[in-house]
């Protein structure tokens, strides 16, 4: 009967499973590599410590009370990309930051040691997260960390945090069950049952380890998420199953725990279980802000001027959108009637769809910069496709327009990747290194030293210093006779 039970799962359970499994396989594939074939990388050493702005508004976020922060280092030896959630509650932020600092610290120390012993192989740290709103008003965050520090394989690990933005409360697994020992025993039993009937774990479970890791102790189930009406429990690689199973994700329908769960987490009766999440409810109500400087005219590039053709430059902004920086950049560009190209991360567009929409509405070109800012040369083709298509979809959903160009994170690409991608790949020739110096005055200096007719300039719309330095760049280039075009308009 076990088989038929699995087949009778409701479609949404399958959907949740599929998305989690897709996620997992991406993360795993991401780091199962040993070679990096002719990856092109740019930029140099030294990084600035992350800057976290405390006064940032969460108004524009599609997830009320939560914003997404990004830290990207384009260092060629120890690159990393970290996306993490922040709220207005210090204890939640501190918990997330502690996890990130540990992961980043471990990675950087390992890479330093590799360098010391003469290894030339670049590493990669990629931390991303998925956010699952629950009908209780709380969110489950699943942090996915991929680390590659040399050798044959990388390592993927999960961390979860469950948080209620309205109350500011971080919810632990025992809170769901009223701290009752009898409920814990039931949870333990159900997790074991679901491990046994999980077809992806067939013949892979390490019996003794599994029994130990699912003993009725709250700490055994601390990595969990509430996804729709399922309690999802995460285990590390090798914790309950052999390596072929990867890091197991076990789903227990909340309906099986209806007696044990406390009020806000009890599943509703099946009849009225049409899932309306707080996100859906709120995003419809969010006030639509009209862009005030909408009197921009099309940039007159070209033929009209005949043989006195103007010099062109393509300004590009990566890693956004950002609720604070992107609007400032849009305002400055509008002032100079300048068109630019924004290479967006899907994970950030998911949080700030309205800002992505504002970029398009202001007449700029939209580019795809992947979902998690992973080095795609470290990934298998289906994982690359997932990174790119998921980002295409969220951009199109949020703005009504699909991206027209693609920029690989870290500028890293190889032939395999180019064969997979359908969008034109756009790199750059002027690197402002704004991510490194974070200095408004240096932006102009780096542009001045290397710009020429037809240049593509790389900047990032997640650093305030870039927004602050942009006006001087636009004023200088204008005085030099340049016009500002999108990368696709560049001759």
Token pair belonging to 429: 């020739």
Is residue 460 annotated as part of the catalytic site, yes or no?
yes
Strands (DSSP E) found in 116-245: 124-133, 139-148, 155-164, 169-170, 224-227, 230-234
Place of tokens 């994982």: 383
> If you ran DSSP here, which 8-state letter would residue 38 be given?
T
Shortest Å distance, C-beta 119 to Zn ion: 24
Token pair belonging to 28: 């795993």
Shortest Å distance, C-beta 43 to Zn ion: 11
Q: Which stretch binds Zn ion (CB under 5 A): 115-123, 314-322, 377-385, 429-437?
A: 314-322
Within 163-192, the residues that bind Zn ion by CB under 5 A are none
Q: 235 CB contacts (<8 Å, ≥6 apart)?
A: 213, 223, 241, 247, 248, 249, 250
Between 114 and 153, how does the x/- string for binding to Zn ion read (CB under 5 A)?
Answer: ----------------------------------------
Shortest Å distance, C-beta 167 to Zn ion: 35
Between 83 and 114, CB nearer to Zn ion: 83
Helix axes of 464-479 and 440-450: crossing angle, nearest 10 degrees: 40
Determine phi and psi for 64, rounding to 5 degrees: -50, 130
Within 432-471, the residues that bind Zn ion by CB under 5 A are none
Shortest Å distance, C-beta 410 to Zn ion: 7
Within 36-55, the residues that bind Zn ion by CB under 5 A are none
Within 318-357, the residues that bind Zn ion by CB under 5 A are 318-319
Between β-strands 405-406 and 155-164, what pairing exists: parallel, antiparallel or unpaired? unpaired
Give which of 383, 368, 348 is closest to 154, Cα–Cα: 383
Strands (DSSP E) found in 319-444: 341-344, 365-368, 405-406, 430-431
Within 397-416, the residues that bind Zn ion by CB under 5 A are 409
* Choice among 75, 198, 229, 318 that is catalytic: 318
Shortest Å distance, C-beta 430 to Zn ion: 15
* Choice among 198, 460, 461, 463 that is catalytic: 460
CB 43 within 8 A of CB 431: yes
Q: Does 71 bind Zn ion (CB under 5 A)?
A: no
Between 234 and 317, CB nearer to Zn ion: 317
Between 162 and 460, CB nearer to Zn ion: 460
Is residue 364 annotated as part of the catalytic site, yes or no?
no
Known catalytic residues are 318, 460
Residues that bind Zn ion (CB under 5 A): 318-319, 409
């Amino acid at each position: 009967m076990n088989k038929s039970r699995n087949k009778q799962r409701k479609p949404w359970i399958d959907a949740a499973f599929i998305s989690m499994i897709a996620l997992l396989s991406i993360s795993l594939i991401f780091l199962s590599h040993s070679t990096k074939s002719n990856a092109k990388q740019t930029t140099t050493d030294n990084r600035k410590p992350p800057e976290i702005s405390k006064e940032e508004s969460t108004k524009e976020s599609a997830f009320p009370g939560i914003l997404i922060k990004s830290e990207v280092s384009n260092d060629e030896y120890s690159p990393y990309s970290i996306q993490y959630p922040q709220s207005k509650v210090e204890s939640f932020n501190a918990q997330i930051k502690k996890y990130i600092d540990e992961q980043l610290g471990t990675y950087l120390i390992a890479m330093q040691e590799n360098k010391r012993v003469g290894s030339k192989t670049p590493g990669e740290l990629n931390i991303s997260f998925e956010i699952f709103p629950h009908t209780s008003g709380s969110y489950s965050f699943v942090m996915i960390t991929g680390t590659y520090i040399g050798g044959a394989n990388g390592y993927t690990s999960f961390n979860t945090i469950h948080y209620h933005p309205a109350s500011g409360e971080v919810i632990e697994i025992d809170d769901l069950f009223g701290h009752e020992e009898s409920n814990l025993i039931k949870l333990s039993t159900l997790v074991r049952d679901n491990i046994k009937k999980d077809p992806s774990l067939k013949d892979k479970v390490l019996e003794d380890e599994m029994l130990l890791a699912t003993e009725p102790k709250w700490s055994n189930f601390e990595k969990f998420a509430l996804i729709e009406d399922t309690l999802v429990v995460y285990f590390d690689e090798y914790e309950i199953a052999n390596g072929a199973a990867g890091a197991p994700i076990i789903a227990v329908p909340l309906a099986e725990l209806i007696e044990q769960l406390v009020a806000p987490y009890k599943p509703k009766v099946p009849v009225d279980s049409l899932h309306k999440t707080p996100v859906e409810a709120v995003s419809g109500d969010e006030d639509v802000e009209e862009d005030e400087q909408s009197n921009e005219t099309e940039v007159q590039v070209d033929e009209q001027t005949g043989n006195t053709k103007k010099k062109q430059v393509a300004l590009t902004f990566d890693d956004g959108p950002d609720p604070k920086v992107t609007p400032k950049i849009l305002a400055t560009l509008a002032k100079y009637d300048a068109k630019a190209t924004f290479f967006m991360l899907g994970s950030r567009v998911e949080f700030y769809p309205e800002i992505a929409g504002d970029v398009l509405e202001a007449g700029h070109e939209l580019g795809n910069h992947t979902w998690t800012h992973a080095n795609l040369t470290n990934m298998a083709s289906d994982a690359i496709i997932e990174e790119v298509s998921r980002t295409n979809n969220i951009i199109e959903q949020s703005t009504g327009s699909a991206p027209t160009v693609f920029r690989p994170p870290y500028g890293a690409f190889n032939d395999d990747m180019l064969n997979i991608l359908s969008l034109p790949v756009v790199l750059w020739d002027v690197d402002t290194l704004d991510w490194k110096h974070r200095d408004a005055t240096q932006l102009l200096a780096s542009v001045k030293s290397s710009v020429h007719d037809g240049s593509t300039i790389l900047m990032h719309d997640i650093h305030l210093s870039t927004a602050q330095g942009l006006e001087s760049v636009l004023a200088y280039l204008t005085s030099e006779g340049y016009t500002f075009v999108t990368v696709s308009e560049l001759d």
